[in-house]
């Protein structure tokens, strides 16, 4: 397929990129651009050039499949230099998204027009690199060093209006974009308007105040990542160095970063996330059904959040609860969330009113008769959920899909409460449901592929990431989290303190450690979960009742101002001597002599058992791919993205190290949870990894 086309329209040369799905600047595109530009410039009849793209978007970035491979000429920086150096004016027409290499190409053109709704940005830092084709040198010359530094170092995307205000583009086009580009090109040729080359502009010096603010933003948003600070350094060079020298430094930084472990991990995350959300069906002829109306049973925190998510996707929602007071609270929360969308510019007043009108509140399950999908979001108790599904069996319409929002219960048992042949599955939303992107989609033994595909499509309409798996206790995320939580509590008994363990996990890259997270979720919630599972715990786990003691003291976490930490100033956790005394007394009571627990031991005991459990999930067929596990942990549990996810991280450190940890502690304790998974042992023995198993 010809990915770059060239034609002449009178005295205008038109260069069109047609490389679906996102017009990435692949090697073939770069070659085609150079050839087309040469044709236009060699033809004496051509007086101006327009550059545009077919399909739904302008160039949305480079072809990242080429990253890490030997470069092929021409490099994009050479293409950009050629367009910028063209003796004939080049008008670029942007639509959809102009990202990464796409925006770098546009910055090299002499005039930039954008359709209303276009989004622009240089988000390379999200892949652990920086713009490598002149972006860090051209953008500051065009919009100022401070504005460019903020955009590039944070990877921020901006809309066309913001781009026009900053000076990234020259005009917004409301009507026919191609026609407007032709008019502008003809005008430049006819009026002999001077060409403005971005590289010839001067970049201003950044103020100390702006620099400090941007550095603080990077530390807050991209803690532990290398690329944002390298990107900032490269942008600052634009104000100190001539263009060619600045671009040479940019290329050096790019080569350094693209070969880094962080960039490899971030590229991995990019690919596995897209693979994880692909429809799971052995029969490509099966298509997802349509969902227009969603029913939600239970108007607590989870049910209300789920309702907000579907309303934002412009679906009708019927929210039911037996208690009027709960429904009234939910109504206020939903109204506040939708109003906030308007205040933040994410929605219009008219759209907010439409969404509010699409919400029905009712105390009767009979109001769910028209729902295509009904999601139960009641208390996490098997008997309660089974009773709800027994009632839904009587009111749901034929063909409706029934889903339980559960974090660990056996959805197959819940499905047994339904006698009619209605599809039943699990949907584990993460709290807050209208914010968190991950949804675990749990296939029951009897659910159809069509129902699963339908739900996957509906979840993607919410802008969320559905990862599909089979039924097991805790599914993927919580089953692995259990391994980390167990060891964290055991290390409290043995000699560590909450802030030490949290500091190590935070230093590894998690947004917070296990005990700060427990305080945030509520120790009362954790205590109820523990009580519901006491019969499954080992003797040592039952004996390790530190959580029980805190609960009995009314320390429920942030909500009560004290949990594992004190919260004297709102959400700022402070170590509490009372908790330390409680833990030390507990160790004495159970006969454990406290010792120094090293940072290395904390990290190994928290992370390696999770990896081993991930191997079990693969071994048991709960998930089909290690990337599904990594996606769950990246989106639902804050695993540091620049480490790629637990299974990718395991390959990086070597599975033999994880196996050695499991064997050592299994020999010391004899506990089954330290037993190495068969898959882990097999791969380690063969010198392979989870991603090199085949």
Q: Give the active site residues.
A: 104, 124
- Cα–Cα distances in angstroms (integers) from residue 507 to residues 125, 407, 496, in the given order: 20, 27, 16
Residue 281 tokens read as: 């069906």
From first CA to last CA, the distance across the chain in angstroms is 32
Contact 65, 91 (CB under 8 A): no
Report the C-alpha gap between 71 and 75 in whole angstroms: 7
- Residues pairing with 295 in the sheet: 318, 374
Burial of 446 (0-12, 13-18, 19+ CB in 10 A): middle
Residue 172: alpha-carbon gap to chain centroid:
30
DSSP 464-484: -EEEEEE--TTTTHHHHHHHH
Report the C-alpha gap between 400 and 392 in whole angstroms: 10
DSSP 189-222: HHHTPPP--GGGSPPPPPPHHHHHHHHHHHHHHS
Report the C-alpha gap between 324 and 316 in whole angstroms: 20
The pairing of strands 359-362 and 373-376 is unpaired
Question: What is residue 676's DSSP assignment?
Answer: P
Q: Is 378 left (phi over 0), alpha (psi -120 to 50) or beta?
A: beta
Q: Which phi and psi (to 5°) does residue 592 adopt?
A: -105, 125
Angle at which helix 227-237 crosses helix 243-258, to 10 degrees, equals 170
DSSP 580-642: HHHHHHHHHHTT-------HHHHHHHHHHHHHHHHHHHHHTTSSS-HHHHHHHHHHHS---GG
Residue 551: alpha-carbon gap to chain centroid:
33
Angle at which helix 655-669 crosses helix 678-686, to 10 degrees, equals 130
Pick from 290, 324, 615: nearest CA to 476: 615
Report the C-alpha gap between 52 and 568 in whole angstroms: 57
Pick from 61, 133, 57: nearest CA to 102: 61
């Amino acid at each position: 397929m010809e990915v770059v086309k060239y034609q002449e329209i009178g005295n205008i040369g038109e260069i069109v990129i047609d490389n679906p799905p996102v017009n990435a600047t692949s090697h073939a595109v770069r070659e085609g651009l150079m050839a087309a530009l040469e044709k236009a410039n060699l033809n004496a009849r051509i007086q101006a050039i327009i550059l545009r793209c077919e399909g739904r978007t302008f160039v949305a970035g480079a072809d990242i499949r080429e990253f890490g491979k030997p470069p092929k000429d021409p490099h994009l920086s050479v293409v950009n230099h050629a367009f910028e150096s063209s003796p004939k004016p080049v008008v670029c027409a942007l639509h959809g998204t102009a990202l990464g290499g796409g925006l770098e190409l546009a910055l090299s053109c002499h005039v930039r027009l954008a359709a209303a709704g276009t989004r622009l940005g240089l988000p390379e830092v999200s892949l652990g690199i920086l713009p490598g084709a002149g972006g860090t040198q051209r953008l500051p010359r065009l919009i100022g060093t401070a504005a460019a530094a903020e955009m590039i170092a944070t990877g921020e995307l901006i809309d066309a209006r913001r781009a026009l205000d900053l000076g990234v583009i020259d005009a917004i086009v409301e009507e026919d974009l191609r026609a407007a580009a032709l008019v502008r090109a003809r005008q430049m040729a006819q009026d002999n308007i001077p060409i403005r080359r971005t590289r010839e502009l001067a970049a201003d010096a950044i103020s100390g105040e702006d620099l400090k603010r941007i550095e603080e933003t990077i530390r807050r948003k991209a803690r532990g990542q290398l690329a944002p600070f390298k990107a900032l350094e490269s942008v600052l060079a634009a104000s100190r160095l001539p263009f060619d020298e600045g671009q040479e430094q940019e290329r050096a930084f790019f080569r350094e970063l693209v070969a880094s472990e962080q960039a490899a991990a971030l590229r991995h995350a990019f690919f596995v996330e897209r693979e994880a959300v692909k429809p799971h069906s052995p029969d490509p002829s099966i298509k997802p059904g349509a969902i227009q109306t969603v029913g939600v049973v239970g108007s607590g925190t989870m049910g209300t959040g789920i309702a907000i998510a579907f309303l934002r996707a412009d679906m009708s929602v019927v929210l039911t609860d037996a208690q009027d007071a709960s429904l009234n609270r939910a109504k206020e929360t939903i109204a506040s969330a939708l109003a906030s969308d308007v205040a933040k510019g994410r929605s219009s007043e008219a759209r907010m009113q439409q969404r509010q009108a699409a919400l029905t509140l009712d105390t009767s399950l009979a109001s769910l008769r028209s729902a295509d999908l009904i999601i139960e979001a009641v208390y996490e108790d098997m008997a309660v959920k089974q009773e709800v599904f027994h009632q839904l069996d009587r009111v749901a319409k034929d063909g409706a899909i029934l889903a339980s929002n559960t974090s660990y219960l056996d959805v197959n048992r819940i499905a047994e409460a339904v006698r009619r042949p209605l599809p039943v599955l699990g949907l584990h939303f993460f709290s807050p449901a209208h914010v968190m992107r991950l949804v675990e989609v749990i296939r029951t033994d009897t659910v159809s592929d069509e129902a699963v595909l339908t739900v996957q499509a509906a979840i993607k309409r919410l802008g969320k990431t559905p990862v599909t798996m089979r039924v097991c206790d805790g599914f993927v995320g919580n089953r692995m989290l259990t391994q980390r939580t167990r060891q964290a509590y055991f290390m409290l008994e043995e000699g560590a303190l909450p802030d030490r363990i949290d500091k190590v996990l935070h230093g590894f890259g998690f947004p917070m450690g296990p005990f700060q997270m427990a305080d945030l979720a509520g120790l009362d919630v954790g205590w109820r979960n523990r009580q519901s599972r006491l019969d499954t715990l080992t003797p040592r786990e039952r004996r390790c009742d530190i959580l029980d003691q805190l609960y009995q003291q009314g320390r429920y976490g942030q909500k009560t101002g004290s949990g594992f930490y004190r919260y004297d100033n709102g959400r700022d956790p402070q170590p509490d001597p009372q908790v330390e005394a409680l833990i030390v007394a507990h160790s004495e009571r159970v006969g454990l002599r406290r010792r120094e627990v090293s940072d290395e031991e904390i990290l190994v005991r928290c992370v390696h058992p999770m990896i081993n459990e991930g191997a079990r999930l693969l071994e048991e067929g709960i998930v089909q791919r290690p990337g599904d596990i990594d996606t769950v942990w990246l989106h639902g549990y804050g695993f540091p993205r620049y480490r790629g996810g637990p299974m990718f991280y395991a390959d990086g450190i070597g599975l033999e190290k994880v196996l050695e940890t499991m064997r050592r502690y299994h020999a010391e304790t004899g506990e089954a949870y330290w037993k190495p998974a068969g898959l882990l042992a097999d791969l380690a023995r063969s010198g392979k990894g989870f991603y090199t198993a085949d």
